[in-house]
Structure formats: C-alpha cells, structure tokens
C-alpha cells in the first residue's frame, strides 16, 4: 500500500514539474522572445526611437517580420528573402574605436538564408545597417548583429565597395557628428517594369536599386536627404543619385515619417 502511495505522489510531482516547465516555456515565447521577434505585419505602423516619426505600409505586397536588434530594426521579407527596410540611429562620437570585423552568420529567427547562399552568386553581401557606424557607437555585440543575414542584401561588388561605402561614411562622419544624431532608413527597390531576378540556386531576389534616407534635426527643424542608387557596376558620383523621399515612397511601398504634420512632411519629402 505504501509503495502504491509513493508511486502516486511521484507521478503528481512529475506532472507538476512538467506543468511548470510548460508555463515557463510559454512565458518565454510570449514575453521574452517577443523582444527579438516582435510580430509579422502587413498593416501595423512601426515606430520607436530607432525610427524617426514612424514607418507604415502603403502598398508593399508581402508580410514583414520585424526583427529588433540592439542598434537597428530589420523589417524582413521572407518571400524575397531580403530586408524590406532597415532603420537605425547614429549619434555623435568623440572617440572612434572600430572592432575587428566578424563573420556573416545565419539569423535563427528567420533561418532561410545562410552566408553560403551568396558564394559564387556574382553579388556581395551588402550591409543595410552598416558594420562601420554601428561598431563605432554601439560596440562589438551590436556590430556582430549587423552580420546577421537578415541585414544583408545582394549588391554588385563595385557598388558595395564604392559609392555605398562612401555613403555609409558620410552619414556617420558628416550628418551624425555635425547634428549630434541622425536617423537612417535604407532598403531595396524592385522595379515593376523589370522582371524579377533571383539567385540561381536559391529564392533570394535581386534588388534593382537601393534607397537611403538620412534624417536629422537642426534648430528643432527636421531635415532630410535621400538617395536612390542602381544595383550595378560603373556608377556615377553620389550627388547624381539624390532624389525626393516621395519618389522612394512610391517605389518602396512605405510611408516614412508619417507622424509629422502633413505640411511639414510634404515639404521635407518633396524636395531633392
């Protein structure tokens, strides 16, 4: 009889332990992991201190997975297997310390793309949130997150190593340092009139262009500059690719800085 009672209580204890583990796992999924993989969205406006005055979808075709990182946010498109946009904030730094360059790595939150997918593809692994600027301001851990494949897009080598790198240095050493801080939104463009292009051995879609919007505040007034750069070799000088934010919104399918007063927003977004 005592043996049966002992077995009965052992089963109850095991059941209680398993119940506690189950609730702990669900709590982790619903509360802690949410910080890293916020939600899939097609309509919910995105805003926060890393994003200047919000971003919302106008007519982007696919759902996006919002991935929060230490120094940037990536709105990831798992259909195109590229970020649709990345946003980050740079601030003025006095002492510039650049950490050793880490290796590219798969993002377990969206594990479809690995660094090997780019091997012999004819394209470089192009950063949207830049390794250089993030490392200077946020340190090694944040720098390593810029090497997650959910921050990477296919770029022609001469673009990646030339005018794109020039623009990354400019946003860091000119705008962020001059105005104490700057917000950047950047991403790929897929032109409707150009047939979709993909890697030979994967479903990674090749962008036709890339946009970058740099925003800053000067004497409590918002200002911005925008670029639209073809994904090709033999590019011109950077100033030849200045465009209005309105044009980028039309091509990208997003509404940037929508929290601004309509008159102020139009003034900023219509200028070149």
**pLDDT tens digits, 36-46:** 333 333 334 55
Q: Which residue has the tokens 């465009």?
A: 243
C-alpha of 39 from chain center: 14
pLDDT-derived band of residue 56, with 50, 70 and 90 as boundaries?
very high
Q: Average of pLDDT values for 177-205?
A: 94
pLDDT-derived band of residue 11, with 50, 70 and 90 as boundaries?
low
Q: Measured between alpha carbons, how far is 215 from 224 in angstroms, rounded to an integer?
A: 4
Mean pLDDT, all residues of the chain: 87
pLDDT in the model for residue 108:
95
pLDDT at residue 53 tops 50: yes
> CB-hemisphere CA count at 13 Å for 38?
16
Q: Average of pLDDT values for 231-257?
A: 96
Q: Measured between alpha carbons, how far is 219 from 243 in angstroms, rounded to an integer?
A: 24
Question: pLDDT tens for residues 155-176?
Answer: 999 999 999 999 999 999 999 9
Question: pLDDT tens for residues 112-157?
Answer: 999 999 999 999 999 999 998 999 999 999 999 999 999 999 999 9
* Phi-psi group of 230: left, alpha or beta (phi > 0 → left; psi -120 to 50 → alpha; rest → beta): beta
* Phi-psi group of 55: left, alpha or beta (phi > 0 → left; psi -120 to 50 → alpha; rest → beta): beta
Question: pLDDT tens for residues 203-212?
Answer: 999 999 999 9
Residues 93, 76, 48, 52, CA torsion sign: positive
**Domain boundary assignment for the chain:** 1-35, 38-270
Question: The tokens of 241 are what?
Answer: 């690719």
Q: Which range has the worst mean pLDDT, 2-6, 11-15, 227-231?
A: 2-6
Long-range (24+ apart) CB contacts under 8 A made by 166-170 are: 166/238, 167/212, 167/227, 167/229, 167/238, 168/127, 168/130, 168/132, 168/133, 169/132, 170/238
Q: Average of pLDDT values for 79-94?
A: 95
Q: Which helix (H) or strand (E) segment is 85 a member of? A: strand 82-91
Per DSSP (E only), the strands in 171-247 are 181-189, 209-218, 221-230, 242-243
Domain range 38-270, CATH architecture: 3-Layer(aba) Sandwich (3.40)
The per-residue b/e assignment along 182-212, b for 16 or more CB within 10 angstroms, e otherwise, is bbbbbbbbbeeeeeeeebeeeebbbbbbbbb
Q: Measured between alpha carbons, how far is 72 from 121 in angstroms, rounded to an integer?
A: 27
3 state SS of 180: coil
Q: Measured between alpha carbons, how far is 73 from 182 in angstroms, rounded to an integer?
A: 15
């Amino acid at each position: 009889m005592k043996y049966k009672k002992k077995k009965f209580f052992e089963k109850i204890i095991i059941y209680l332990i398993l119940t506690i583990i189950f609730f702990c796992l669900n709590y982790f999924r619903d509360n802690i992991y949410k910080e890293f993989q916020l939600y899939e969205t097609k309509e919910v406006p995105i805003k926060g201190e890393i994003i200047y005055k919000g971003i919302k979808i106008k007519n982007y075709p696919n759902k996006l997975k919002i991935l929060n990182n230490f120094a940037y946010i990536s709105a990831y498109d798992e259909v195109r297997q590229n970020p649709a946009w990345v946003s980050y904030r740079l601030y003025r730094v006095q002492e510039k310390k650049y950490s050793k360059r880490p290796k590219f790595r798969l993002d377990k939150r969206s594990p479809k793309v690995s660094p090997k997918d780019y091997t012999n593809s004819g394209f470089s692994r192009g950063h949207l949130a830049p390794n250089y600027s993030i490392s200077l301001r946020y340190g090694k851990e944040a720098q390593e997150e810029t090497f997650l494949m959910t921050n990477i897009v296919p770029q022609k080598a001469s673009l990646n190593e030339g005018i794109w790198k020039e623009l990354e240095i400019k946003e860091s050493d000119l705008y962020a340092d001059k105005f104490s801080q700057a917000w950047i939104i950047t991403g790929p463009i897929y032109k409707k009139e150009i047939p979709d292009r993909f890697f030979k051995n994967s479903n990674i879609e090749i962008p036709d262009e890339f946009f970058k919007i740099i925003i800053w505040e000067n004497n409590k007034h918002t200002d911005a500059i925008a670029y639209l750069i073809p994904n090709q070799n033999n590019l011109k000088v950077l100033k030849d690719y200045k465009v209005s934010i309105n044009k980028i919104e039309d091509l990208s399918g997003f509404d940037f800085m929508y929290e601004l007063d309509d008159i102020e927003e139009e003034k900023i977004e219509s200028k070149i």
